[in-house]
Amino acid sequence: MTNRVHIICHPEAGSGDGNTILKKVHSELDSFQMEYITYLTDYSTHAEVLTEQLVNRGHKKYQDYLMVVGGDGTLHEVVQTLHKNQADIPVTYVPAGTGNDFYRSWQNGLSVRGIIEIMLFSEKPVSIPIFTYNDHITKRQGVVLNNMGFGFDAEVNFRAQNLIENSFLSKMGLGKLSYLLAVLLSLNSVRHFSVSGSIDNHQFHYDDVSLAGILNSPTLGGGINIDQLTRPHNNEIALVIYRDIKLSVIFDLFIKVLITKKTNESDNIDRYTGQKLQLKITDPIRGQLDGEDIPQKPVNIDLALSSYPFYLPN
């Protein structure tokens, strides 16, 4: 029986890092004498199309491996498509993006070779917590691997993506600075909106919210820590609400988020955890899902805790 690795790669991830990382992957697989087939993405959502084709061809679990080389957005597209097709094909992720929040949560410190060794020599994949969502407005269903957010974090993400595409910072390997710069550029346009919903039947309502974050990972944008209590191993949905944000508290929040990482000590942040979440935002608001932009619209979503198999350290 011949094993092979199917590699879905976004070559332009991380301003071209995808190509560089892919060469390392090929070199390491060659050293293990592994066969591989590489599929390069050419446009947004192409990873979804490629994954769909692999599923329809009859991907053989535990004979054929599936690897993703790219950023959090590419990984999201692949897992989203697999989940939609109810194809629990274990995924191996090699980070090549700017943020790489999934890598920080689950693989931090692993080299390309280390990631490949785990894929080849693990007895079985690791089932990790993810979230599933149902959007009642767009009628779309999908998954959340790292986080989904509405308000300030989404505006920062939107600006950061534009900076990454057009800035010399990413070309110098300083992508995280693009997010920090985006934070500063977004401070003068902080939106305030109302949020209501429930988490495990606990009702909540807020009238002056600037950020509503649904978290499976404590960080955004490659290490910006918006909630230091969230851990992906906690097996729970975490909701953080940044509220009553006025000019007088912005500096204090800035220190707690970016420097001391003690967001739980802020009087302007509320936190909930549970297994099921319903969230409603009446006013159109920008969102982000695993670092990908969600255009402004009202929000009415349900989320539940789920799981998906990956080749990861035990």
- Structure confidence at residue 1 (pLDDT): 46
Residue at which a domain ends, from 93, 124, 155: 124
115: domain CATH number is 3.40.50.10330
Q: In angstroms, rounded to a whole number, what is the distance separating the alpha carbons of residues 129 and 21?
A: 27
Tell me: pLDDT of 181 over 80: no
What integer pLDDT is reported at residue 49 of this predicted model? 96
Mean pLDDT, range 271-295, rounded to an integer = 94
Q: Which residues of 7-18 are buried (b: 16+ CB within 10 A; e: fewer)?
A: bbbbbbbbbebb
225, 290: one domain: yes
**185 shares a domain with 110:** no
Q: Of 120-124, 207-211, 255-259, 284-288, which range is least confident? A: 255-259
* Residue where one domain finishes, among candidates 124, 151, 173: 124
Whether 54 and 111 share a structural domain: yes
Show the beta-strand stretches assigned E in 96-246.
126-135, 141-144, 147-151, 193-199, 202-215, 219-220, 224-225, 237-243
What average pLDDT does the segment 245-253 reach?
Answer: 79
172 domain-assigned: yes
Contact 304, 222 (CB under 8 A): no
CA distances in angstroms from 140 to 80, 108, 132, 292, 300, listed in the order given: 11, 32, 11, 15, 11
Q: Could you give the CA distance from residue 81 to residue 308 in angstroms, rounded to a whole number?
A: 12
Q: Which domain holds residue 177?
A: 133-308
Asked if 231 and 289 sit in the same domain, the reply is yes
Domains contained in the chain, number:
2
CATH number, domain containing residue 254: 2.60.200.40
Bridge partners for 5 per DSSP: 36, 65
**Mean predicted lDDT score pLDDT of the chain:** 88
Residue 313 located in a structural domain: no
Alpha carbon distance 147, 102 (integer Å): 10
- Residue 258 placed within a domain: yes
Pairing of strands 276-289, 35-40: unpaired
| 314 within a domain of the structure (yes/no) | no
Rounded to two decimals, what is the model's pTM?
0.90
The residue out of 77, 92, 124 marking a domain boundary is 124
